Amino acid sequence: MSQLRRDPITGRWIIVNYEKVVEPEEFSFERAVKSNNTKKCPFCPGNEHMTPPEIVAHRNIGAPNTPGWTIRVVPNKYPALEIKGDLNKQGIGVFDRMNGIGAHEVIVDIPHHMRDVADISDEQAEEIIWSYISRNTDLRKDKRFKYILIFRNYGKSAGASLEHPHSQLIALPIVPKRVNEELNSSLEYYNYKDRCVFCDILVQELSDKERIVEENDFFISFCPFVSRFPYEMWIMPKRHESHFTSLQKEEVKPLGTILRNSMKKLKKLLNNPPYNYIIHTSPINGFEKEYYHWHIEIMPKLVNVAGFEWGSGFYVNPIPPEVAARNLMK
């Protein structure tokens, strides 16, 4: 019989299949292949002229917009939102609209076309985290922005339009719906129990030990009890903190390492699956919230979201997270 599980954070339910557990090799997903066509790749070293001029780069050698960088941040050439202009909020009858103001940046965080987070050094992984922190810190000075979202799409079916590995940052003029939902339901839990729901989950995961994939002094990586997707993993700081940029200096490298190690396990087990990861953090004005706890959600794209999920917000997961964690640990 399948099991229904309820997420204490959002109230979302999932259906976990226990009858017939799908083996890793049974998933038929669109693999994240790469063509090694680096000549035409705008994110490869030597092709810096193919992107808009860089906003910032980590480099030991070379002039801006030339090779020698380890991380390069550029404006998105086809931005979902534009940095210049006013919001111009308007009502149109029953509807509301505003101009698409925001920032949309690409963080080219791995120079090598054929590699991904799974394949990099501890140092490069640490640099990636530093780049996320510094872009976040820079953009939150702009008073028009209310939320900064950092995410990574890997593989075409996970929405990556370019093969070269990269992360993206979008600064938004409003706090998005999903974030508000997470904040509101965490607050409800806090009001009821006087505790952070994420801290409670952390304690339980550390005691159950069934779903932990990786652990170090500062972070755990685990397949959540209420995983929507097969092989979903979350990375959560052990220290309660609501905003991602409140990371302390000594936490940056361990975060990079646990992220790299988790991605390595995923890549090995499932043979290079497409995925998204997303940093869930409180809004720009949301520092020191006692009820919210930043974390990273890693969502491999192994199954298609269908009508049932769209209509209900339920997710059917063919792999119990306990089995997923065990397989990832092999």
Active site residue ranges:
166
Q: Is 86 in the site for a copy of itself (CB under 8 A)?
A: no
Maximum Cα interatomic distance, the chain, rounded to a whole number of Å: 62
- Determine the Cα–Cα distance for residues 298 and 168; give it in Å rounded to an integer: 15
Q: Minimal distance in Å, beta carbon 217 to a copy of itself? A: 23
Contact positions with a copy of itself (CB under 8 A) in 6-45: 6, 8, 10-13, 15-17, 20
Sign (positive or negative) of CA dihedral 264, 265, 266, 270: positive
Q: Is 190 in the site for a copy of itself (CB under 8 A)?
A: no
Q: Which of 39, 177, 249, 330 binds a copy of itself (CB under 8 A)?
A: 177
| Residue 150: strand, helix, or coil | strand
Cβ atoms of 56 and 109 within 8 Å: the answer is: no
At position 193, the amino acid (one-letter code) is K
Q: Is 192 in the site for a copy of itself (CB under 8 A)?
A: no
Cβ atoms of 233 and 222 within 8 Å: the answer is: yes
Q: Is 249 in the site for a copy of itself (CB under 8 A)?
A: no
Which residue number, 197 or 254, has a Cβ lying nearer to a copy of itself? 197
Q: Is 162 in the site for a copy of itself (CB under 8 A)?
A: no
Which residue number, 10 or 65, has a Cβ lying nearer to a copy of itself? 10
| Residue 160: closest CA among 50, 275, 271 | 275
Q: Minimal distance in Å, beta carbon 305 to a copy of itself? A: 7
Cβ atoms of 292 and 282 within 8 Å: the answer is: yes
Contact positions with a copy of itself (CB under 8 A) in 257-276: 276
Contact positions with a copy of itself (CB under 8 A) in 134-153: 147, 149, 151-153
Q: Is 308 in the site for a copy of itself (CB under 8 A)?
A: yes
Bridge partners (DSSP) listed for residue 316: 15
| Residue 199: closest CA among 289, 317, 300, 283 | 289
Q: Minimal distance in Å, beta carbon 46 to a copy of itself? A: 27
| Residue 80: strand, helix, or coil | coil
Which residue number, 60 or 192, has a Cβ lying nearer to a copy of itself? 192
Q: Which of 40, 60, 63, 95 binds a copy of itself (CB under 8 A)?
A: 95
Which residue number, 25 or 86, has a Cβ lying nearer to a copy of itself? 86
Which residue number, 51 or 66, has a Cβ lying nearer to a copy of itself? 51
Contact positions with a copy of itself (CB under 8 A) in 216-245: 225-226
- Decide: residue 273, CB within 10 A, 0-12 exposed, 13-18 middle, 19+ buried: buried
| Residue 171: strand, helix, or coil | strand
- Determine the Cα–Cα distance for residues 55 and 63; give it in Å rounded to an integer: 13
| Residue 208: strand, helix, or coil | helix
Span of 2-10, 45-53, 108-116, 122-130 interacting with a copy of itself by CB under 8 A: 2-10
Q: Is 75 in the site for a copy of itself (CB under 8 A)?
A: no
Span of 32-40, 49-57, 86-94, 240-248 interacting with a copy of itself by CB under 8 A: 86-94
Span of 4-12, 129-137, 210-218, 284-292 interacting with a copy of itself by CB under 8 A: 4-12
Question: How far apart, in Å, are the Cα atoms of 245 and each of 70, 140, 237, 288?
Answer: 21, 11, 12, 11
Q: Is 330 in the site for a copy of itself (CB under 8 A)?
A: no
H-type alpha helices, 172-222: 177-193, 197-208
Q: Is 159 in the site for a copy of itself (CB under 8 A)?
A: yes
Q: Minimal distance in Å, beta carbon 326 to a copy of itself? A: 18
